[in-house]
Structure 1
């Protein structure tokens, strides 16, 4: 058997390494950056669904328990308005309104607020949900900072192992070829 046949081993190993190097660079520099926009869109859709399922804003904001927690503060402001500010702003009205009248007005205000508050909060939550669209926020952020640039360093380390595996596979293929040639010749 000729000595030059032993060149099959390094040539096959180099070929395997080169093929894996070309495929890895293609993946890292061409294929992965092209996938940024579709991946950002899918991540945005997933985020939107998860946010809607997890943080059901409308339900939480219009919860009667939340309104009951807010009522002491609201009542305090209504009392301050009726007993102090109204009399300061319109002194003539203050002379005709007594405690019974302010208590009745306070009661009417509080009842109306208990009815109105959930509706207003639902409307605000809907507007806030449209303005703070998490799906669009995620897509915008991932478009500004592409996924390919975020994972490039991690993938580059794994691609070195991939190229070394190509070197090993090429060497094994060369060894198999050499054994086959030995038996044939």
Structure 2
């Protein structure tokens, strides 16, 4: 039996490592750069589907969201009616009492609850004309910084893949040596 026969696991390990290293380099420096525009466009389309204006409108028109904002709105209306309005128009405070300001506050709050969903829908509709989510995502991902970050993020997992290739190649080499020993 030849001594070089026992080098089979080492050679298999090196071969496994080289194959996975070649794959990693191909993926990072050949495949991803040539498919970059397609990948970015696909991510932009997916982002536009996930963050649609209809979803934003339905979220902003949700009564629970309005309900959460109402205490703050009521506080500001109270401050306006009890502090700022008498400061700006002192004569009015002589004719308007607490009952009247409470009624005015009640009408304001009721009107705001009805108006808020419509206003938010209008804002989202007009924002949609000026802000395209797909274009924004594509522009952000097209920057060299995003590409560099992607390569850096993939470098560590691909290096682990190389080590897995090294280990699997070594194990395959050991299995081959054992099989050859059994056959001889």
Q: 1:139 maps to which residue? A: 138
Q: 1:65–1:153: structure 2 CA closer, same or farther, 3 Å change rule?
A: closer
Residues in 1 aligned to 2:113 and 2:151: alpha-carbon distance in whole angstroms: 51
| Aligned length in residues | 149
Unaligned stretches of 5+ residues in structure 2: 1-18, 170-184
Q: Distance in 2 between matches of 1:37 and 1:92?
A: 67
Q: Quote the residue 1:49 is aligned against.
A: 49
Measured against aligned partners, the alpha-carbon deviations of 1:119-147 in whole angstroms (never above 9, x if no partner) come to 11222334455666442233123211336
Corresponding position of 2:99: 100
In 2, Cα distance between equivalents of 1:27 and 1:77? 57
Where do residues 33-182 of structure 1 align in structure 2 (5 Å cutoff)? 33-52=33-52, 56-128=55-127, 133-144=132-143, 145-146=146-147, 151=154
TM-score by length of 1: 0.59
**3-state SS, counterpart of residue 51 of structure 2:** helix
The separation in 1 between residues aligned to 2:130 and 2:152, in whole angstroms, is 28
CA distance in 1, matches of 2:68, 2:26: 59
* Deviation of the 1:44 alpha carbon: 0.9
Q: 2: CA distance between counterparts of 1:31 and 1:107? A: 63
By how many angstroms is 1:51 displaced?
A: 2.9
When residues 38 and 104 of structure 1 are mapped into structure 2, their CA distance, relative to the original with a 3 A threshold, is same
Alpha-carbon RMSD across the aligned residues, in angstroms, is: 3.9
- Kept in 2, the 8 Å contact 1:62–1:122? The answer is yes
Runs of 5+ consecutive residues of structure 1 not aligned to the other structure: 1-19, 166-185
Q: Which has the larger radius of gyration?
A: 1
Question: Structure 1 36/149 Cα, relative in aligned 2: closer, same or farther at 3 Å?
Answer: farther
